[in-house]
Amino acid sequence: MPLDALREPTVVEKLTQAAFIWDNFKVDVSLWIGSGDFSDAATSFCVLDFVLMLQAARVMLREDSLAVFELSDRQDEWHFTRDKDLIGLRTRYATREGWNFRPAEGHCLAREFDSLVEQSLRDALALIFSRQPVTQQNPYLQALASNGFDAA
């Protein structure tokens, strides 16, 4: 049984957006941006939280050259940059001595990043639906599947 925000078993149809961002459907993400492999920084994430972060970065980078995000359940920072038509990514993590950047750094064309973001939502929903077919009855996931990021 999945958990809701209060950490109690809940039927899938009643799960809210928060349940999919904090507690359920955690995955290890394999993410490459250009030559940068970010898979080490992407372990045990709630898959929809990760996808929504990518979408938020895409939206912010339309207006700004820097977008910094943390996932809902951890402190690590994801630094997205935009220089004309090039998107960059670096991650950093907190230690007792301060913040440290991980060695991976990657760049790709903005249109490639846009495609990645769109595909990531489709893949996340396909993964959830394949592992738990009953999730297709969840109103939040139904809205994401039919309306894309507009439902978020």
What are the tens digits of pLDDT across the range 35-73? 998 888 777 888 999 999 999 999 999 999 999 998 877
Mean pLDDT of 77-81: 95
Nearest CA among 151, 152, 137 for reference residue 14? 137
Q: What is the pTM of this model?
A: 0.85
Whether 1 shows a pLDDT value over 60: the answer reads: no
More confidently predicted of 149 and 112:
112
Residues 48/25, Cβ–Cβ less than 8 Å: yes
Mean pLDDT of 63-84: 91
Confidence band, pLDDT 50/70/90 cuts, at residue 6: low
Separation of alpha carbons 143 and 135, rounded Å: 12
Residues 71/63, Cβ–Cβ less than 8 Å: no
More confidently predicted of 43 and 145:
145
